[in-house]
Amino acid sequence: MKEMQDRDLLRQAVAARAFAYSPYSGYQVGAALLCEDGTVYTGCNVENISYGGTICAERTAVVKAVSEGRQKFVKIAVSVSGEEPGIPCGLCLQFLSEFVDSEFILICGNCRDEYTVYSFKEILPAVFRSAAVHKAGE
Ligand code: THU
């Protein structure tokens, strides 16, 4: 199977951005997550009047994938309605870190579909991983 190109994945993130529910910020975000088996899960940001209940586009995509049995991810594309490229927030990076390794690729696009590509290790070089946690009974 031909590896999905960054541009194709970004196009899917742009399409997902159209579904954003963001009446409070007015900022639309779409994400497209490529799994190891070639499946793509998309997501958008879904805001809530409680503000804290808001879920980002990236986590929407991860939750969709995991809840349908996928846990191995290759790349994510993010598309935002603003001029600056869509860099996932710290919470989304932490959330992704549960399932990705340092070579995972992030394609971060802006409203004009210009994008910057990062590896996970570039974007979050020092990450809090489960190995750091001392578990009771060990
Ligand atoms: N947002 C995302 O969807 N992804 C990010 O990584 C950053 C922020 C959303 C959350 C909220 O709906 C809006 O963008 C403004 O923060």
Of 58, 68, 83, 103, the catalytic one is 58
Q: What's the CATH code of the domain at 30?
A: 3.40.140.10
For residue 89, count other CB atoms closer than 10 A to its CB.
Answer: 13
Number of domains into which the chain is organized: 1
Q: What is the mean pLDDT of residues 113-138?
A: 90
Q: Which residues line ligand 1 (CB under 6 A)?
A: 22, 25, 27, 29, 45, 47, 54, 56-58, 88-89, 92
Determine, yes or no, domain membership for 134: no
Determine, yes or no, domain membership for 135: no
pLDDT tens for each residue of 82-116: 999 999 999 999 999 999 999 999 999 999 999 99
Ligand 1 atom closest to the Cα of residue 56 is 3
Q: What is the pLDDT of residue 1?
A: 47
Q: What is the pLDDT of residue 2?
A: 55
pLDDT band of 3, cuts 50, 70, 90: low
Residue (of 48, 53, 44) closest to 79 by Cα position: 44
58 is catalytic: yes
